[in-house]
Each structure stands twice: as structure tokens, then as C-alpha cells.
């Protein structure tokens, strides 16, 4: 390049600033102004595309968070519902065991059959044993099953009999009384009061807020 020429965005100029020729003259040539316009268009397009991608990703992440929160709420409701069902089943079975225990105690302690008004049933056990089956250890489940069988056996032995029983028969009923007591101890944890749903919900919300603050 001539020492007297200087290249600028508009083309070549001499030392006095007089234009000599365009930097990109000729057919099909593109000057600096046109290049800047194209560059601006490209940059604008890239920014738009990147913005759209970022927006889509943000929307997707927000959707995932909402879905996880929905699943968490559903799990909490299902857990509370199951706890209530287990508690109800255990209490209904416990009620049958209480009657059976009272009847067996009369036989052992008073050596006579219980009143005909006191009916021994295992209907609640038959209806709800599946609900509590997985909530008990094998030992507790076995204790409960054994007690139910003992109660059914005691009911068959009595039949329609009334009045006094022999000391020998009373002694034979002692194991039934023991089985019933063991079953009630095994079932006891499932019969305890459960927190009302509103209290559970408030505690869980409070726990979530504490976790968020930390």
C-alpha cells in the first residue's frame, strides 16, 4: 500500500483526506456499511434464538418443579389415607379381641361360660386383615393369627352351653386367654391415635418452609 494512502471504512484516502477508491469496489462488492448491517442482523438473530432457547428451558424447569410438588402432595395424601385405614382396621379387630378376652377371662376366673349376649366374632379380622398384614412384623402377625384361631376354637367349644364349667376346662382355656393378650399387645401400636390431617399438613408445610429458608 502507498505510504500516502490510508485505508478507512469508506475506502482509501490520501493524506489530505481525499477519497481515492472504495475498500470493496466493483460489481458485487460490499462496503463497510453493508457489512455492518449484515453483522447486526446476524447478531440479532443469534440473540433471539438464544433467548428463545433459554425461555424454553426455564419453562420446562418450572414445569418439572410444579410436577414434583404435585407428586409430593399426592404422596402425602395417600400416606395419610393409608394410615387412617390401618388405624381403623386395627381398632375394629381390637374390639373383637377385647370381647374375646373378656369371655375367656370369665371362663378362667369364674369357671363359667360367658353370657349369651356376648357374641364372639372374627368378622373384622376377615374383612381387614389384608389392610394390616404388611404393617406388622412376622412375629406380631403370627401372634394375631394364632389368637384369632384360638377365639374361633373357644366359640366352637362353648356352642350353646351355659352355666358353670369344670376347673379342668377352665385350665384348658388359659392358653387362649394368653394368646389373646399377646395379640392385643402386637396390635396396640396400630390402634394408637393418628394426627388429624390438618395438623399433619401444617407440620409438613412448616418443615418445607424451614428447609427453604435454610
Instruction: Work out the average pLDDT over 51-66.
Output: 81
The answer to whether residue 181 sits within a structural domain is yes
Alpha carbons 186 and 137: distance in angstroms, whole number: 9
The answer to whether residue 6 sits within a structural domain is no
pLDDT (tens digit per residue) in 180-205: 999 999 999 999 876 444 444 444 55
| Domain region containing 110 | 86-204
Q: Lowest-pLDDT range, 4-18, 30-44, 48-62, 160-174?
A: 4-18
> What rounded mean pLDDT belongs to the chain?
79
Q: Which residues of 88-106 are buried (b: 16+ CB within 10 A; e: fewer)?
A: bbbebbbebbebbbebbeb
Q: Which residues contact 31 (CB under 8 A, 6 or more apart)?
A: 9, 10, 11, 22, 23, 24
Whether residue 117 is predicted with pLDDT greater than 70 in this model: the reply is yes
Alpha carbons 16 and 1: distance in angstroms, whole number: 16
CB distance 90 to 190 below 8 Å: yes
Whether residue 98 is predicted with pLDDT greater than 80 in this model: the reply is yes
The answer to whether residue 192 sits within a structural domain is yes
Find the angle CA(94)-CA(185)-CA(110) to the nearest 5 degrees: 75
**pTM listed for this prediction:** 0.59
The answer to whether residue 183 sits within a structural domain is yes
Radius of gyration of the chain (CA): 43
Alpha carbons 91 and 88: distance in angstroms, whole number: 5
The answer to whether residue 43 sits within a structural domain is no
The answer to whether residue 123 sits within a structural domain is yes
The answer to whether residue 27 sits within a structural domain is no
The answer to whether residue 14 sits within a structural domain is no
C-alpha cell at 39: 453483522
* Number of structural domains found in the chain: 1
- Among 5-19, 59-73, 146-160, the range with the most confident prediction by mean pLDDT is 146-160
| Nearest CA among 109, 124, 77, 91 for reference residue 177 | 109
DSSP 69: H
CB distance 148 to 122 below 8 Å: yes
pLDDT (tens digit per residue) in 62-97: 887 887 877 777 777 777 888 899 999 999 999 999
Amino acid at each position: 500500500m502507498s505510504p500516502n494512502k490510508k485505508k478507512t471504512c469508506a475506502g482509501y484516502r490520501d493524506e489530505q483526506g481525499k477519497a481515492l477508491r472504495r475498500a470493496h469496489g466493483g460489481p458485487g462488492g460490499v462496503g463497510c456499511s453493508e457489512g455492518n448491517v449484515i453483522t447486526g442482523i446476524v447478531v440479532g438473530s443469534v440473540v433471539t434464538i438464544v433467548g428463545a432457547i433459554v425461555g424454553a428451558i426455564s419453562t420446562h424447569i418450572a414445569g418439572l418443579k410444579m410436577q414434583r410438588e404435585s407428586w409430593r402432595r399426592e404422596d402425602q395424601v395417600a400416606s395419610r389415607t393409608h394410615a387412617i385405614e390401618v388405624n381403623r382396621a386395627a381398632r375394629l379387630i381390637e374390639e373383637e379381641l377385647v370381647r374375646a378376652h373378656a369371655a375367656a377371662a370369665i371362663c378362667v376366673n369364674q369357671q363359667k361360660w360367658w353370657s349369651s349376649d356376648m357374641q364372639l366374632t372374627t368378622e373384622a379380622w376377615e374383612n381387614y386383615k389384608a389392610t394390616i398384614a404388611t404393617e406388622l412384623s412376622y412375629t406380631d402377625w403370627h401372634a394375631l393369627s394364632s389368637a384369632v384361631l384360638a377365639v374361633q376354637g373357644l366359640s366352637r367349644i362353648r356352642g350353646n352351653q351355659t352355666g358353670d364349667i369344670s376347673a379342668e376346662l377352665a385350665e384348658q382355656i388359659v392358653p387362649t386367654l394368653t394368646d389373646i393378650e399377646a395379640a392385643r399387645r402386637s396390635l396396640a401400636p396400630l390402634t394408637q391415635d393418628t394426627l388429624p390431617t390438618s395438623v399433619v399438613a401444617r407440620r409438613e408445610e412448616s418443615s418445607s418452609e424451614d428447609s427453604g429458608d435454610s
